[in-house]
Amino acid sequence: MFSGMVQDVLLLALCFLLATTTGSMNDRVEKGLLKQRASSPSNITNLTAQFFPSQGSKRAQITYGPFNVPNMNITNGMQSFFQAPVEMPCKDCLVTYIQAGLTYPNGTYANANTSLWLHHVVLYNLNNVDAVCPTNLITGVPGERFFASGNERSPANICINGTNNAGYYIGRNDTIGFLTELMNTEMVNQTAVVTIEYEYIPGLPASFSKVTPVWLDIAPCDQGSEEPAKNGSFQYTSTPWTAPANAAGRITCAIGHVHDGGTHIDIAKNNQSMCDAIAVYGGPGYMDPMGNMVNMPGMTMGSHISSLSECSTGQLNVGDSLTVTAYYNTTEYAPMTNTDGSLTPIMGIGLLYVAVNETSSSTSTSSGTSTATGVASTTSKAAGSIMTVAGGSALFAGAVGGMVALGFA
Ligand SMILES: [Cu+2]
């Protein structure tokens, strides 16, 4: 799965540098996108906004792809795709909610039950610098990771259902990158479309705050997000990260990500638990089809991680030390394995959204946990120019500016 990783990193790094230094890749990709738009009615579906209607909020789903995902005899059925720049529903806008999904080209739902996984998708803003990993040690290209989803498809409910006047601001000239890794557990190739639903407010209303994403990762910045899996009960803790002035404020939302086998992920501030996100398994879409239970060693329990709880309160002061600890117990939940039966690497990521320069007492906040309110709706059409990269997640460690923490499953 990791063979060819170095050359893939170099290839993608080279492409990325080309894209950012000469504009040639951007031109090529953008032309591809425009061409596709011309031949497709739309890859945007307008939906009904859920939060802040008085601010003229809008909700839309954008489709990315289609992507051809090889069968499981090729790189364990894993394939990564990278696009930049990528289409967003808006510019000069405040994004209050983001949720990813996966469908087939005809719009029908794809998940573990159909042998097609949204292993991960990550969005990053090339115009901003990541708060935790400001420079990429391989390419030197900065970029702010502002959204990530694994197959559990947890929303980044930044505004916590409209109770927080906060969102992620996308500037008029910001360039957004898109990276996805898809997984096929069938013996035949499959084609998938990634959907991302956004809710946003045009502009930046005076009463709203921009959030800074803080990506905490059990793996260090120069490694990528993967760590070796083990059997039984084990845990990994990140290197402590100290909050600087430009990332201190009120935490509007915190979400986590672990792989199958994970039980919970705890974000701690100054060694005290601040958000303990609990993993839930199974449910509609998250069970293996019967045919695959024989073919996927280690997945014979057939039930996969389907959600992680989220947290919505907290205060981050300058000098506070944050860590994230991912807890696994493979006797409780079956881990993911490669086709040869070996354990696939695991992850532990906590993503916080911080309304900088606010204090938790200065504005109203919600408390406790909240679950997704995503609107299930799919329409899939256009595709952009796609860079296909063979191999596993870790090869992206150097590819995307600042986003060394990758391979989100
Ligand atoms: Cu992952």
241-280 pLDDT per residue, tens? 999 998 999 999 999 999 999 999 999 999 999 999 999 9
CA of 406 to the centre of ligand 1 (A): 7
CA of 20 to the centre of ligand 1 (A): 27
Pairing of strands 249-258, 348-356: antiparallel
| pLDDT for residue 97 is more than 80 | yes
Lowest mean pLDDT among 8-22, 70-84, 91-105, 161-175: 8-22
CA of 226 to the centre of ligand 1 (A): 8
H helices of 85-215, in order, are none
CA of 266 to the centre of ligand 1 (A): 16
CA of 259 to the centre of ligand 1 (A): 6
176-188 pLDDT per residue, tens? 999 899 999 999 9
7 by DSSP, 3-state: which? helix
pTM (predicted TM-score): 0.79
Dihedral pair phi/psi, residue 16, rounded to 5°: -65, -40
pLDDT at position 357 is 76
Handedness of CA 22, 26, 31, 32 (dihedral sign): positive
pLDDT at position 221 is 87
Percent of the chain with pLDDT over 70: 73
What mean pLDDT is predicted for residues 218-241?
Answer: 93
Residue type, 93: C
What mean pLDDT is predicted for residues 299-319?
Answer: 83
pLDDT tier, 110 (very low <50, low <70, confident <90, very high otherwise) = very high
CA of 407 to the centre of ligand 1 (A): 5
CA of 149 to the centre of ligand 1 (A): 8
CA of 198 to the centre of ligand 1 (A): 21
CA of 171 to the centre of ligand 1 (A): 28
CA of 120 to the centre of ligand 1 (A): 6
pLDDT tier, 339 (very low <50, low <70, confident <90, very high otherwise) = confident
Query: Rounded CA gap, 243 and 345, in Å?
Result: 28
CA of 247 to the centre of ligand 1 (A): 24
| More confident position, 347 or 299 | 347
Query: Rounded CA gap, 225 and 396, in Å?
Result: 10
CA of 389 to the centre of ligand 1 (A): 17
